[in-house]
A and B are shown apart, each in its own frame.
Chain A
Amino acid sequence: MRRFVFLLFALFATAATAADAPLLPVYPEVRPGVALAFPRDHGTHPDFRTEWWYITGWLKTPDGRDLGFQVTFFRSRPSVDQRNPSAFAPKQILFAHAALSDPAVGHLLHDQRAARAGFGLASASETDADIRIDDWSLTRRADGSFAAKTGGAEFALDLNIKATQEILLQGDEGYSQKGPDPAQASHYYSLPHLTVTGSLKRGRSSVAVTGSAWMDREWSSTLLDPRAVGWDWLGINLDDGGALMAFQIRDASGAPIWAGGSLRHGDGAVERFAHEDVRFATRRQWRSPRTGAAYPVERDLSVDLASGPRQWRITPLFDDQELDSRRAGGPVYWEGAVRTEGGHGYLELTGYLQPLKL
């Protein structure tokens, strides 16, 4: 449930002002009961308004230091006149974003790519995961592993990502409701416990890294309730082989409009959380000296499991994992590596500086 996308929603909502009634795209609605099929559903779903491939995880450097990383590819279908025959017509837009959390740096390093699909410079396959923007790419190889290549002036990641577990379908067999209205939903599956090998280049020196990651795949046309101002998302790879995901969508008062998640136990049994099962509590806030926004970076996640209530205490790898992308036209948010007793993962906190306009 990621901010870039919501930003795009906001941006594209204003289309349809052309003089001669433009032919605007018709976005399909996400409905339950649609069976997902692989590798087809690793590929893109261009009719839907938005879609992402979202990888977050922890890396270890040869000298044993922990780093957080995030590599994300987005696809968006703007509401533009579908009749425009120009090869530049922005019918599909691709974005990619990469960030590195290094406690030694003390803040995030990040970079991005954006392009309209076309000319062979930016493309997303409909048959398997194969998405490219210039020199950045995320592809699925014949052996089922993923290759992610991103890089910029400050750092470059070249990663091999291998699944060790089955695909985890979120929600109702991949239909994940995001609000009180059943139409507010996405197709959603996750790949937890991915093993990562590869290299991290910073400046001129390159080091080998290993680690574990989590990939989220979602596509949707209508995601958020109109009252929503922000959301929290958490994904944790548990040491016992379990996988924990929880999210909540907040209104202006900070109260949850909707929540959900799942826990796949080490033995493979999956528990899915209902809206009322999930509660995020704040233990400590960190106030950004740059933007003044206060983020609940230390949290207690409480979930009513079938076996009874269960709580995880979430602490960040370091506090300042805030990302200010306003200069690139994006929002201000916090997204960082977190740990809990018996697990490592990522936490995303959006809409804390100002409500996201929809």
Chain B
Amino acid sequence: MTDAGAISRQAMRWMIFGEWRAYPGRVIVTAIVIAVGVALGFAVHLINASALNEFARAIRTVNGDADLQVQSTTPLGFDEALYPTLARLEGIAGASPVFEMQARLAGTRGNGGPDNGMTLLGIDIFRAANVTPSLLGQSAGSSDPFDPSAIFLSQAALDVAHLAIGDSIVLDVGGRTGSYVIAGTLPAAAEGQRLAVLDIAEAQWRFGRLGRLHRVDLKLANGVDAARVRDAISKVLPAGAEISDAESEAQRGDGLSRAYRVNLDMLALVALLSGAFLVYSAQSLSVARRRPQFALLRVLGVRRRALVLQVVIEGGVVGLIGAISGLALGFALAQGALRLLGGDLGAGYFNGATPELAVTPGAGAVFLVLGLAAALAGSALPAMEAARAQPAVALKNLGDTTDPNTVPDSRAAIVLLATGVGAALMPAINELPLFGYLSIGLLLAGGIAGMPLLARLLLAPLQRRAGLALPLDLALKRLWGAPSQAAIALCGIVASTSLVIAMAVMVSSFRGSVEDWLTAVLPSDLYLRIEGGSNGGIPPDVQQAMATATGLAEIHFGKVSPILLSPNRPQVGLVARDMDLANPERSLALLGRSLPVPQGATPIWLSEAAMRLYKQRPGDLMTLPLATTNGAPAPRFFIAGEWRDYGRQHGAIAMDNRDYTRLTGDVLRNEGAITLAPGARAEDVAAALRAKAPPNLAQRFFFIEPREIRASALRVFDRSFTVTYLLEAIALLVGLAGVAASFSAQTLARTKEFGMLRHIGVKKRQITLMLVGEGALLGIVGVTAGIGLGIAISQVLIHVVNPQSFHWTMDTKLPFELFAIVIVALVVAASGTALLAGRRALGIDAVRAVREDW
């Protein structure tokens, strides 16, 4: 290089490697921090991509490869007369009727036992051959295409049933059984997908739904305008049927877990962000320590820009190493997580299929860049600060260049915090709480920017106190005198603590609210559920017989079935139960009051999620696409109130049993809430109820006591938050690593100071105690600020992020045990590392240390 102001390449290399050789631990910690952030982000992303891939593939196989579908909105199906109407429409080249139900192996109890459910499709092979050839079975030998006893199973269905081609199989669909011979396989079914295909006439007859269809798959004629065909279809659709296509199916699959996935992605980015803060703190200290070195270079004529460049390159190289190892780590993490937890990370969104890991180089590049950016940003700020310093002052002065008497500037902090609060008030974008996350980022940045001032405020009461022990006094004076160094050490602690606390508060609030809700919604003594309940249930005569069982004070039957309100959203639960119309709050966990129902209107109550997703308010009128008995238009309902339902994230709608039966003609019930007579035992009553029902139905009865429901609900809750706990633990470890790194760096940089103290008569032990005190003080300040900031961020999670992405609210519950653990862990880690690093620094000869004055 000819420019005199630039550092020669060799000199730069020498300086960077010299630094790394002297402090390899710091470089490694910085790289690890970046690696962890990148790994988490990339792993979560990979898992999501793989799971969605799998989900889309599974949807495609169940649907065959139809261009367009007309689907039933409820499991009751629609009138088959729609099929010829659709087939005759212009632009339709083929229409294939499908009868779709959930089946399981007969004679087994689904719940508690292994899950052996499968999707059963009844098809007309002639129509399917034209529209959805992938649904056709491949028979082992020559077989009769209309043999009613022939069934085709996908490989996964064969595996779960432990059967082979030629074996017989007995399937149970809502209490009706059919026995079949496995004629062959479904080679086009997605791996892991449990699918069974048989003749449509047999399915309709055997499973008791003559005249009903659940789906008509459509093939469009070549070159027709799909939009016009959709228009024509929508004109002939009755209530209870909706158009959908692969895109809306995929959207629905995506919507199923989208909020959950985006939240995890965001958490991973937050981990990366706290990584950036740790890089910042490590680089700041390294730069601060080398300030005289830089000043010397400046005096020798090196330009500012060149110095900044050197530090940024240093950070960049470390960042790159961290990011690359992060990608590898993320890939391994994703693979392990998929194997252990499944594609939904244990949240239970995708059943039955273990996805293949999808490799996405584009996303890998994005996370690499993010990791690198975090490292560069963390390095650039301290580098610019160092370059700004006056060479003459910096050359002599190793410590803080700010005057201890000036109050730290807090304007930036106030602006950041105010913007953060403002962002929290913004609505969701595209049903994602993006502003909520922005708010969290701003609050975090604002809190850290305000650390110097906050440290002062927190230390002020101690500072004013006289008569402190010498080591503690020294420690206090040091922190008071060097606020920006303290702040640098603190920002890593604060960033990681506040994020851990925020997540913990959110999860504990959620869990607490779910627990309260479970208690509120389960007032009865015993609950009855029917396996595979949405297709069928208990007929009225059996209901009446059951009501006379001994030991029973009261039994209320209900029906829960899915209903599709919008083709690109997941199904909503339609809950029919005996509503106390005068006091609906006795039947539902109502939020607020239930409105008086106008004369002649039919009331329904929407869960929080249903309200928010379908943009309804109490008092509104709403049409539900129920397949009505007499072909009447879809009924309109009066929304009487809102209730809390954590059970169905995609919404639930409650209505009275009588209204449900009147409108749908469906008299079967699949749930029962039982009040025991005084002194009766639950198991006796359960047995008595079983005895009143026909055996094939009674065999599917599943009795649960409220405490079991609560336990299993919380088990599911904890499973779906496994990953969250994991991320928390990692964030906490990263935080501790950051504390250790900054402390050892700071302490080692202060050998001259220790030498001076020794000279003026301070004992080694006292210096050690001083360091421990410093560490403890810093830890306390950091953890106090972190918890405060964390609680603030948790409020954004609870009141903004959760309602916007999951459509439910919760009440704040603080996890005090965790607070205690975090406080102890951080204070011990801070003072412990200070002690260890101090021992090393004190090992250097005091005289030599003071002489280190060049």
Contacts and interface: CB of A to CB of B under 8 A. Distances in A.
Interface in B482-501: none
Contacts of B211: 87
Contact of A115 (B88, B127, B179, B200): B127
B143 interface: yes
A93 B616 CA distance: 50
B349 to A, nearest CB: 34
Contacts of A116: 124, 126, 201
Contacts of A119: 80, 83-84, 87
Given A114-B126, A116-B124, A357-B142, A86 B201 contact: yes
A90 B146 contact: yes
Contact of B200 (A15, A86, A114, A120): A86
A87 B143 CA distance: 23
B124 A86 contact: no
A352 to B, nearest CB: 19
Nearest to B179: A19
A10 interface: yes
Given A85-B205, A86-B201, A10 B142 contact: yes
Contact of A19 (B127, B142, B149): B149
Interface residues of B, number: 29
A115 B126 contact: yes
A14 B97 contact: no
A81 B97 contact: no
A134 interface: yes
Given A19-B179, A119-B84, A120-B84, A86 B144 contact: no
Contact of B199 (A90, A93, A153, A328): A90
A48 B179 CA distance: 30
A116 B210 CA distance: 17
A354 interface: no
A14 B147 contact: yes
Contact of B142 (A11, A22, A84, A120): A11
B124 A85 contact: no
Contacts of A85: 205, 210
B631 interface: no
Contacts of A357: 142
Given A11-B142, A11-B145, A121-B87, A88 B126 contact: no
B201 A14 contact: no
A88 B143 contact: no
A163 interface: no
A78 interface: yes
B722 interface: no
A78 B145 CA distance: 10
B233 interface: no
A121 B124 CA distance: 13
B205 A89 contact: yes
A18 interface: yes
Interface residues of A, number: 32
Interface in B91-145: 97, 124, 126-127, 129, 142-145
B19 interface: no
B562 interface: no
B179 to A, nearest CB: 5
A131 interface: no
A87 B144 contact: no
B204 interface: yes
Interface in B756-774: none
Contacts of B127: 115
Contacts of A153: 222
A114 B87 CA distance: 14
B148 A80 contact: yes
B181 interface: yes
Contacts of A115: 124, 126-127
Contacts of B88: 121
Contacts of A13: 144
Contacts of A205: none
Contacts of A78: 144, 146
B202 interface: yes
B785 to A, nearest CB: 70
A87 B126 contact: no
Nearest to A17: B149
Contacts of B97: 88
Interface majority SS (helix, strand, loop, mixed), chain B? mixed
A96 to B, nearest CB: 11
A12 interface: yes
B81 to A, nearest CB: 8
A14 B202 contact: no
Contact of B202 (A10, A84, A329): A84
Interface string B181-203: 10000000000000000011110
A86 B149 contact: no
A329 to B, nearest CB: 8
A87 B122 CA distance: 13
B84 A121 contact: yes
Contacts of A22: 148
Given A88-B201, A89-B205, A121-B84, A15 B210 contact: no
A22 B80 CA distance: 25
B144 A12 contact: yes
Nearest to B211: A87
A19 B202 CA distance: 12
Contact of B147 (A10, A15, A19): A15
Given A12-B144, A17-B181, A19-B179, A86 B210 contact: yes
B183 to A, nearest CB: 10
Contacts of A328: 129
A151 to B, nearest CB: 11
B595 to A, nearest CB: 45
A87 B99 CA distance: 13
Nearest to B136: A329
Contacts of B201: 84, 86-90, 116
B205 A18 contact: no
A322 to B, nearest CB: 22
A84 B146 CA distance: 12
A89 B147 CA distance: 11
Contacts of A114: 126, 129
B98 to A, nearest CB: 11
Interface string A61-97: 0000000000000000010110011111110010000
Nearest to A87: B80
Given A84-B201, A87-B211, A134-B87, A12 B143 contact: no
Contacts of A15: 144, 146-147
A163 B244 CA distance: 49
B71 to A, nearest CB: 18
A296 B148 CA distance: 40
B147 A17 contact: yes
Nearest to A89: B201
Interface string B136-168: 000000111111110000000000000000000
Nearest to B141: A14
Interface in A27-44: none
B209 to A, nearest CB: 10
Nearest to A85: B210
Nearest to B122: A88
A267 to B, nearest CB: 46
Given A15-B147, A19-B179, 14 more contacts: A14-B144, A80-B146, A81-B148, A84-B148, A84-B201, A84-B202, A84-B205, A85-B210, A88-B200, A88-B201, A114-B129, A119-B83, A121-B84, A121-B87
Interface of A: 10-15, 17-19, 22, 78, 80-81, 84-90, 93, 114-116, 119-121, 134, 153, 328-329, 357
Interface of B: 80, 83-84, 87-88, 97, 124, 126-127, 129, 142-149, 179, 181, 199-202, 204-205, 210-211, 222
15 contacts: A11-B145, A18-B148, A78-B146, A84-B148, A84-B201, A86-B210, A87-B201, A88-B80, A88-B97, A89-B201, A93-B146, A114-B129, A116-B201, A119-B84, A120-B84
Q: 9 closest A-B pairs (Cβ-Cβ)? A: A88-B201, A86-B201, A119-B84, A89-B201, A90-B146, A86-B204, A114-B126, A17-B149, A88-B200
